[in-house]
C-alpha cells in the first residue's frame, strides 16, 4: 500500500498496528528497490513472500491485467484457464517484439521489466562464476543443444577459419550433437583422476590447441554442471590456459611478419 492508503488504514485499525505492518512491508520493498538499483544477484536469497509480492506488482503493470480490460486486441495476452494464469503469476503477455526478442513490449511493462532484470542478474552470476569478460546476455527458453548450437554459429563469425572445438569430455549427448550440428569437429580431451574426482586436463587442452593451431579452434567447450565423479571445470584456469596460447600465437605471427623464423618446441 502507498502512504495514502496506510494513513486511511490507521483510521480503521490502531495506528501502531498499521505502522508495524507497514514497516514489515517496507522491508520487502527495500529488497526490491536494491534489485532495481543494482540489477545484481542478491547476496541472500529472497523469501517466497518477497518474490510473490514483486511478481504480483509486475503482473498488474501488463495491459492484460488492467482493470476493465476486455482483452480483444490482436496482440493481447489472453489465457482460458485460471489455473494456468495463477501458475504463471498472470504474466501472460510475453516479452519482445517482432524480430527483436530483447525489445521492450509496450503492452507489457511488467514482463519487460522482469526480462531486463533477469538478464542483468544472470550476467552478474556469469561474472561471479569466472566469466569476467561477459558484457551482456539474455535468457531465452531453449534447451541445452539448441542454445549451444546458436552460440557456436555466432562464434563462427568471429573465427571463420575455425574447424575444431576442443571439448573436455562430459558424457552428455546434447553437447556433442550441438557441435556436430553447427558444423564443427569435436576434439575430445580425456579427464584426469584427482583423488576420487574426474577433472579436466588443462595441460592437455593447451597442448591440443597448440597442435591444431589456435586459428583453427573455435573455442574450448567447458562445463559447469555435470554428474559425479566428473566435477565442474575451473573456468578461470581454463581461461588462463587459452589466453596463454593466444598470446603465444600472436607473438609467433608478429615474429613471422618481421621475417623471424620460429621453431615450435618439441612436445614429446
Measured distance CA(209)–CA(219) in Å, rounded: 9
pLDDT tens, position by position, 197-209? 999 898 899 899 9
Tell me which long-range contacts 74-78 makes (C-beta under 8 A, separation of at least 24). 75/107, 76/107, 77/107, 77/108
| Domain at 210, CATH number | 3.40.640.10
Q: Determine, yes or no, domain membership for 250.
A: yes
User: Residue 252: is its pLDDT beyond 80?
Assistant: no
Structure confidence at residue 267 as a pLDDT band (50, 70, 90): very low
pLDDT confidence of residue 217: 94
Which of 246 and 32 is assigned the larger pLDDT? 32
Q: Determine, yes or no, domain membership for 22.
A: no
Return the residue matching grid coordinates 495491459: 63
Whether omega for the bond prior to residue 228 falls within 30 degrees of 0, making it cis, is no
User: Residue 144: is its pLDDT beyond 60?
Assistant: yes
Q: Determine, yes or no, domain membership for 90.
A: yes
Q: Determine, yes or no, domain membership for 161.
A: yes
b (16+ CB within 10 A) / e for 86-102? eeebbbbbbbbeeeeee
Q: Which helix (H) or strand (E) holds 165?
A: strand 164-168
User: Residue 98: is its pLDDT beyond 60?
Assistant: yes
Final residue belonging to a domain, choices 104, 129, 154: 129
Task: Answer yes or no: do 148 and 227 share one domain.
Answer: yes
pTM over 0.85: no
The Cα angle at residue 83 between residues 80 and 85, in degrees rounded to 5 = 65
Which of 162 and 235 is assigned the larger pLDDT? 162
Return the residue matching grid coordinates 587459452: 242
Q: Determine, yes or no, domain membership for 196.
A: yes
Domain membership of residue 100 as a residue range = 39-129
Task: Answer yes or no: do 118 and 163 share one domain.
Answer: no
User: Residue 47: is its pLDDT beyond 80?
Assistant: yes
**Domain count of the chain?**
2
Backbone angles phi, psi at 262, to 5 degrees: -115, 130
Final residue belonging to a domain, choices 129, 158, 176: 129
| Domain at 71, CATH number | 1.10.10.2160
Task: Answer yes or no: do 113 and 167 share one domain.
Answer: no
Task: Answer yes or no: do 156 and 204 share one domain.
Answer: yes
pLDDT tens, position by position, 67-95? 887 766 656 778 889 999 999 999 988 88
Final residue belonging to a domain, choices 64, 94, 129: 129
Q: Determine, yes or no, domain membership for 31.
A: no
Structure confidence at residue 268 as a pLDDT band (50, 70, 90): very low
Task: Answer yes or no: do 151 and 101 share one domain.
Answer: no
Amino acid at each position: 500500500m502507498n502512504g495514502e492508503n496506510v494513513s486511511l488504514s490507521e483510521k480503521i485499525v490502531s495506528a501502531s498496528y498499521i505502522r508495524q505492518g507497514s514497516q514489515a512491508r517496507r522491508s520487502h520493498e527495500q529488497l526490491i528497490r536494491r534489485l532495481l538499483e543494482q540489477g545484481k544477484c542478491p547476496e541472500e536469497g529472497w523469501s517466497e513472500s518477497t518474490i510473490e509480492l514483486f511478481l504480483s506488482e509486475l503482473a498488474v503493470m501488463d495491459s492484460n491485467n488492467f482493470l476493465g480490460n476486455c482483452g480483444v486486441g490482436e496482440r493481447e495476452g489472453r489465457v482460458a484457464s485460471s489455473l494456468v494464469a495463477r501458475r504463471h503469476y498472470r504474466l501472460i503477455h510475453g516479452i519482445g517484439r517482432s524480430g527483436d526478442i530483447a525489445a521492450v513490449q509496450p503492452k507489457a511493462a511488467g514482463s519487460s521489466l522482469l526480462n531486463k532484470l533477469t538478464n542483468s542478474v544472470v550476467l552478474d552470476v556469469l561474472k561471479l562464476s569466472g566469466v569476467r569478460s561477459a558484457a551482456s546476455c539474455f535468457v531465452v527458453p531453449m534447451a541445452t543443444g539448441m542454445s549451444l548450437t546458436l552460440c557456436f554459429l555466432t562464434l563462427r563469425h568471429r573465427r571463420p577459419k575455425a574447424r575444431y572445438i576442443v571439448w573436455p569430455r562430459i558424457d552428455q549427448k546434447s553437447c556433442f550433437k550441438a557441435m556436430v550440428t553447427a558444423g564443427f569437429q569435436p576434439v575430445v580431451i580425456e579427464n584426469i583422476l584427482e583423488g576420487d574426482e574426474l577433472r579436466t586436463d588443462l595441460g592437455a587442452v593447451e597442448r591440443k590447441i597448440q597442435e591444431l593451431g589456435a586459428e583453427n579452434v573455435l573455442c574450448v567447450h567447458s562445463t559447469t554442471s555435470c554428474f559425479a565423479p566428473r566435477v565442474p571445470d575451473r573456468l578461470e584456469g581454463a581461461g588462463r590456459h587459452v589466453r596463454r596460447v593466444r598470446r603465444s600465437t600472436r607473438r609467433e605471427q608478429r615474429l613471422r611478419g618481421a621475417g623471424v623464423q620460429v621453431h615450435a618446441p618439441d612436445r614429446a
